[in-house]
Amino acid sequence: MQEIKTTYSIGEVAEKFGLSVPTLRYYDKEGLIPNLKKNSAGVRRFTEENLSTLQIVECVKNAGMPIKEIKQFIKWTTEGDESLQERFDMFLQLRLSVQEQIRQLQETLDVINFKCEYYGKATNDGTEKFVKEEMHLDKP
């Protein structure tokens, strides 16, 4: 019995990932989706393996990795076990970068939370005067 592989159109994949069709074509052109096949009419057909690759591409892109580095990672994945250390090192570095982004965002959120508390109290009081005194913002 022949196994039938499920494939997806570029439109289906675009919708599933919240990407535009031109973005997917660009990723294909840049070699970010290895083993992406086209049918006899030249239409791209995405497999589950392609979707898994695309999920990683989107993850590292959202983490701030440039396309050039994503291309290098994809190249390493096609090299097999010889590039395991490089891939591991890449993800360790990416993790540090994301942790720093989270730290910076937490600082930003702390300021925003303070301002929400400040303006919430000022709005309830109808003035900033009492909030400034209460929070000791009137002193240097």
Query: Which positions of the chain have pLDDT values less than 50?
Result: 140
Closest CA to 35 of 26, 44, 25, 43: 44
Q: Which of 90, 45, 87, 37 is nearest to 64 (CA)?
A: 90
Which of 106, 105, 30, 35 shows the shortest CA–CA distance to 68?
30
* Of the candidates 88, 98, 35, 26, the residue with the CA atom closest to the CA atom of residue 65: 98
DSSP E strand boundaries for the chain: 37-38, 44-45
Dist CA 69 CA 54 (whole Å): 15
pLDDT for position 2: 59
Mention every residue, 6+ apart, whose C-beta is less than 8 A from residue 35: 47, 49, 50
Q: Which two tokens stand for residue 25?
A: 């074509």
- Crossing angle of helices 48-62 and 67-78, in 10° steps, is 140
83/46 Cα distance (integer angstroms): 25
- What's the pTM? 0.80
